[in-house]
Amino acid sequence: MAVSAIRVFATACIRSDRSGDLSSRPHYPSMPRYPKGVQVEENLMVKGSEAKALFSVIGMTCSACAGSVEKAVKRLPGIRDAAVDVLNNRAQVLFYPSFVNEETIREAIEDVGFETTLLKEGLNESPSQICRIQIKGMTCTSCSRTVESVLQGVQGVLKAQVALATEVAEVKYDPKLVNYSQLVEVVEDTGFEAILISTGEDKSKIHLKVDGLLTDQYTSLIKNSLEALPGVEDVDIDLMLHKVSIAYKPDQTGPRNFIQAIESVGSRQFMAMLFPEVGGREAHREEEIKKYYLSFLWSLVFTIPVFLLSMVFMYIPGIKNKLDTKIVNMLSVGELLRWILSTPVQFIIGRRFYSGAYKALRHGSANMDVLIALGTNAAYFYSVYSVLRAATSENFKSMDFFETSAMLISFILLGKYLEVLAKGKTSEAIAKLMNLAPETAILLTLDSKGNVINEEEIDSQLIQKNDVLKIIPGAKIASDGLVIWGQSHVNESMITGEARPVAKRKGDQVIGGTLNENGVLHVQATRVGSESSLAQIVRLVESAQMAKAPVQKVADRISKYFVPLVIVISFSTWLAWFLAGKYNGYPKSWLPSSMDSFQLALQFGISVMVIACPCALGLATPTAVMVGTGVGASKGVLIKGGQALESAHKVNCIVFDKTGTLTVGKPVVVSTKLLQNMVLREFYELVAATEVNSEHPLAKAIVEYAKKFRGDGECWAWPEARDFVSITGHGVKATVQNREIIVGNKSLMLESNIPIPVDAEDILAETEGMAQTGILVSMNGQMVGVIAISDPLKPSAKEAISILKSMNIKSIMVTGDNWGTANSIAKEVGIETVVAEAKPDQKAERVKELQASGLTVAMVGDGINDSPALVAADVGMAIGAGTDIAIEAADIVLMKSNLEDVITAIDLSRKTFSRIRLNYIWALGYNLLGIPIAAGVMFPGAKIRLPPWVAGAAMAASSVSVVFCSLLLKNYRRPKVLDKLEVCEIMIERL
């Protein structure tokens, strides 16, 4: 598959289907003129239904094979798109049956030289979909585990993940067996509030508001009009809100087409516009923060008076006498006021804890709410019993704990408020990414000659593929696209982390959300909506924050038994102290004034119950992962979740590919030695005709060099190459102008029985000694020339290897290139272990051998041939300018394609994992120390005891401390030596 050479984002390249030259000379500054006959690309509408076919293609070994298959298919009429997966030996083709059929496509693939079979069963497989659901009301890992297990039990659900820190469930399901509405209902049946975030990762979706009288007839017409548009996948109309939701394929249609379709219904009596956003996860987060804040303030209104009545006024003689005034028997004014004031706190403000406890117990689990409900109820209802008994007795002196229940709830609400406030900051990375896209864009309308005839400011959500946008200096680029006029510098640091502005001119690609600095650009939109690089990066970071690190399983196992164990310990504590007091197990002098043994035991039991905090355990890992992946994204290092973070911190061996990884990846021809008398132009005409069918970087370098022998006005078509064959890791063969051409390495020539003269051997040795790649060319069985190709080292390669060595990380190079070049490159960068002339499967085998020797291996590569090794490695790192397949196979994507980011990724993972360890020390250590102190182990000797309200405050503080500990990762700074390295790179580039 043809892949762009410049790519700085995570999961896909920005492609353009444009061809031809565009004039850089405008009519006038704001109205460029394009050459006659060259027009801005429009969506191609082909009548008839679109079909899909899946083929098994046997014999593909590399990207060159995949490129050959793709080109052969796309040459056929009626082909809309073709995608070739070389790893799975499959080709998927979208076509129009009125122009071409499956048999013709199959024959075209076989003509290229591969065995092909139509896979009908592959298309009948039910495609899975992914939906994301916001879940409100979860308090600890017991809640998230309950929701996850309930979702997993639904028929049709393939996988469910629930993240406590983000309060999001990601569900992979079979749409034929269950839909997202049913999944939302299942979550709500567990007792939590569920809000649908998205219904699939492969769809763009837009919501429109329709003004006008929507009758059943017009509703049906609007729906039919929208569904008739190509690329529309689903239409949902909410009559109450006048809201139309449309899921669509952005490469076929777009929002302005929908608005036009709606407004054309009837006598143009409807007006459509973007539906105003009133929700979103940030809005829900703000709502949650506000809710806890208000609850805490209302609790203070009642709790402060209770505290003053219990702890302050009782020591002021005048006020104390009034409060001790008896109302009925031994019931005093102070006790009655405390009862009245604490009741709203217990049952109205604290209602959420009852609700949460009920939800958990209903599904057979116990969470933090259960502990709070039990603790506050014990204090409140014992106090009620004490007050009622005083009211009915003439000599009973009551002792109430109303201040305990009220203050306990207030401190827990304060802790929850601080916790949600801090948790909101852990996901700031996603919020910042989502806010990069500008709200508006300037849309240009062009005539048939390419002249600008109109400018219009539109909402950026209305941008469609192939729109031409005007980007003024200081404005953000509204969409991924291709520069078709103008030149400027673009600051891409917000996406890639690259600090240096990048020069852009006609033909260069730009990324949506980046900042145009000093010139006017006209950009043709190539990827919009969910296909844009910004949207893909956001999805990748979201998925990373959802994924659980293996270390989190420890916390999940502990939390499963944590609450029941705490309840048992709490009851045992109360019983032990109660029996000790009843049977004189300790001196009466130990008892505080106005408190008996039962009340002392009750306080110890309640303190144990409320000091234990399962939340801190549940938040220890995900909050650190959220912050770590967010920091990584801001620095151009996309880490795909906790698994990658945990594995990366253990890495002690890195396997590097050579081309495009250690080297720049843009090989150039540096010299040519002919062994027979022939014109150099004719030589390159034949070689280029052979290599043009290959996607290998070296082949592209030869073709580009061959173009220099042609004039600007000459036709760019090369002579026809027949019987083209690509031999993975060796070279290519073809017949051009009745000559049998072989272009490749020494082993290919020997296998083809082509004699290699001594002169050629000497030239090869000299070439390889200079770290260049020697390509041999034979025609009709005779060696005719040697092409020397150089792929310069990346400026930071040598220093990066040296820094890794100082970190006790072993570096190995595994490449498909020849041994001479490989050894020269390795010597130059300081790598001692080299494996050359390795095929893709041999790279993966080498990785497995290193793992078998006890090493934790990371693989750094950029090509399709690196994908097996990337998957086999403990951590796969894909260079951001690499192929789609390599990026998909990797665990970490280095968007800037700089080797120093390998060091950043490992260093960040080590810092993140040390933060996770520190969080566990906080959480587990806190509980291991706090519970015994709350149970009274220090009371006999030091007379230290924790009143329940103090224990509650400590419990609230524990989860807050864990979240804030994770937030400290936001201050991460990469190793200082990398900053010096970057300065050197800039100086080298300027020179």
β-pairing verdict for 739-744 and 731-736: antiparallel
Please calculate the CA angle 624-876-547 and round it to the nearest 5 degrees.
35
What CA dihedral angle connects 381, 383, 385 and 391, to 10 degrees?
Answer: -140
Instruction: State which amino acid sits at residue 19.
Output: S
Q: Give one DSSP letter per residue of 642-694, joined into a string.
A: HHHHHHHTT--EEEE-IIIIIB-S--EEEEEEESS---HHHHHHHHHHHHTT-
Q: At 467, list the tokens.
A: 């729109």
Short-list 441, 432, 466, CA closest to 537:
432
CA 244 to CA 263: how far, in whole Å? 13
CA 582 to CA 604: how far, in whole Å? 15
- SS3 string, 770-827, reads CCCEEEEEEECCEEEEEEEEECCECCCHHHHHHHHHHCCCEEEEECCCCHHHHHHHHH
Q: End-to-end CA distance of the chain, in Å? A: 35
Short-list 767, 541, 782, CA closest to 672:
767
CA 378 to CA 372: how far, in whole Å? 10
Any catalytic annotation for residue 480?
Answer: no
Please say whether the beta carbons of 661 and 816 come within 8 A.
no
Instruction: State which amino acid sits at residue 110.
Output: E
What secondary structure letter does DSSP report for 915? H
Residue at token pair 């996901």: 427
What secondary structure letter does DSSP report for 970? G
Please say whether the beta carbons of 469 and 457 come within 8 A.
no
- Classified as helix, coil or strand, 485 is strand
Please say whether the beta carbons of 945 and 604 come within 8 A.
yes
Instruction: State which amino acid sits at residue 750.
Output: L
Q: 376: which residues sit within 8 A by CB, 6+ positions away?
A: 346, 350, 353, 404, 405, 408, 409, 610
Burial bucket for residue 627 (CB in 10 Å: 0-12, 13-18, 19+): buried
Please say whether the beta carbons of 789 and 772 come within 8 A.
yes
Cβ atoms within 10 Å, residue 640: 21
How far from 105 is each of 65, 202, 376, 762, CA to CA, in Å? 16, 26, 72, 46
- Classified as helix, coil or strand, 773 is strand
CA 187 to CA 184: how far, in whole Å? 5
- Classified as helix, coil or strand, 207 is strand
Bridge-partner residues for 739, per DSSP? 736
Residue at token pair 């030259």: 21
CA 147 to CA 195: how far, in whole Å? 14
How far from 77 is each of 73, 91, 96, 177, 517, CA to CA, in Å? 9, 17, 9, 37, 43
Instruction: State which amino acid sits at residue 6.
Output: I
Catalytic-labelled residue, pool 369, 400, 467, 657: 657
Short-list 719, 751, 721, CA closest to 733:
721
β-pairing verdict for 810-814 and 653-656: parallel
CA 245 to CA 235: how far, in whole Å? 6
CA 794 to CA 809: how far, in whole Å? 20
CA 410 to CA 407: how far, in whole Å? 5
Instruction: Give phi and psi for 866, each to the nearest 5.
Output: -90, -15
Active-site annotation, residues: 657
